[in-house]
Structure 1
Amino acid sequence: MSKRVCQIIKLKPEAEAEYKAIHANVWPSVLAALKRSNITDYSIHYYQPLRLLIATFKYTGTDYEGDMRTVAEDEETKRWWKVTDGMQESFVEGAEGSGKAIPWWTELEEVFRFE
C-alpha cells in the first residue's frame, strides 16, 4: 500500500528565480536516489503570496523511515540540499537542514482524500 506525503516550507524571497531555475533541471542523480527509495509522483508547487513551497509525493515501499535515511545518505542528494536548503526557511523549530534528525520540511496532516 502506498503512502502519500505532503510537506511545506517557506522560500526566501530573493531565491524565487534561482529555485525555479534549478528545479527546471533537477540533477538526474537526485531523481535516481528518489526512485531507488520508492518515491514516485513527486511535485513541488509554489504559492507566491505566502512564499510557500508545497511538495507532494507517493511512497510505494515498505520501510519509509529506512528509505528516507537512504535518500539522506546519498552524496549527490546531500550536495543538492546544500544548494536548495539555503533558499528555504523551515517552519520546524531547531531544524538545521535536510536529512538531519529534526525534519527540514513540515509534513502536513491529510484531512481529506478522494480517489
Structure 2
Amino acid sequence: MVNPHAGEVVLTLNGERQVMKLTLGALAELEAALAADTLVSLIERFEAGQFSTRDVLALLLAGLRGGGWTGSAADLAAADIAGGPVGAARLAATLLMRAFAPAEAAE
C-alpha cells in the first residue's frame, strides 16, 4: 500500500509496481545528477511546465532509489513505464509535490 502522506508514489515499471519516495539520500543523489542545477529550479521548471526528459528521468530514478529499487539509470531509460512519457512526467511531478507539500496537500 502506498502512503501519500509519506511522499510515496507508485510507478509501474516493466509491469511491476515500484514504490517511489524522495528520501534525503535520494534528494542528494538528485542534486548530484542535476549537477549545477538546484532543487528549487527543478520545482520551478515543473510548475511552469518547462521540465525536460532528463528532469523526469532523474526524478524517477531518485524516487525509485528512495523506495529501495536497485536498478541503474540505464535500466530505467530502457524500461517500459506505464502511461508512457506523459504518465512518467505526471508521476515525477506528483513525486516532487508530495516530497515538498504539506501533508494535507498530499491527498
TM-score, normalising length: structure 1: 0.30
**Higher normalized helix content (fraction of residues):** 2
Structure 1 or 2, whichever has the larger Rg, is 1
Relative contact order (alpha carbons < 8 A, sep ≥ 6): 1 or 2 greater? Answer: 2
Specify which structure has the higher proportion of strand. Answer: 1
What TM-score results when the alignment is normalised by the length of structure 2?
Answer: 0.31
